Amino acid sequence: MATLETKRATGLTISDVAQETGLTSHTLRYYERAGLLAGVERNGSGHRRYTSEDVEWVILVTRLRATGMPIRLIRRYAELVRDGEGNEAERLALLEAHRAEVVARLDQLHRNLELIDYKIGLYRERACDVGAR
């Protein structure tokens, strides 16, 4: 078994990263296949070894997913980052467009939450009443 020392030198295994990010190894491989992760380094026997930068990136990906950004947009963003400098404007545009969608979704969620609260109020106030649906 690799010591912490060794891991620091050679990078984390896929199950280390799975544990740290809350994803499964399956999902990590799926993300890599889908182009969300730049090529992760391999050791002599072909096993993935993740750097801490890789892990940071994976965490960013999970956050973007958690806000509902679809895989294909995250891939686009990842591609831009991989292509390096010169496309920052496009990256910014992509993030801003997504931000706008998240804000819109938050608004809608807040509004619909009010309806739920209204219904809950009905059931609480007139629990023995007839017509509440």
Partner DNA sequence: GCTTGACTTAGAGTGCACTCGAATCCCTAC
Partner DNA sequence: GTAGGGATTCGAGTGCACTCTAAGTCAAGC
Residues near its own copies, by CB under 8 A? 56-57, 60, 63-64, 66-67, 81, 85, 88-89, 91-92, 95-96, 98-99, 102-103, 105-106, 108-110, 112-113, 115-117, 119-120, 123-124, 127-128, 130, 132-133
3-state secondary structure of 48: strand
38, 78 contact by CB (below 8 A): yes
Of 75 and 122, nearer to DNA (C-beta) is: 75
Which value, in Å, is the radius of gyration of the alpha carbons in the chain? 22
**What are the beta bridge partners of residue 42?**
48
Whose Cβ is closer to its own copies: residue 7's or residue 75's? 75
State the residues that interact with DNA by CB under 7 A: 1-2, 13-15, 24-27, 29-30, 33, 42, 44-48, 65, 70-72
CB of 61 closer than 8 Å to CB of 22: no
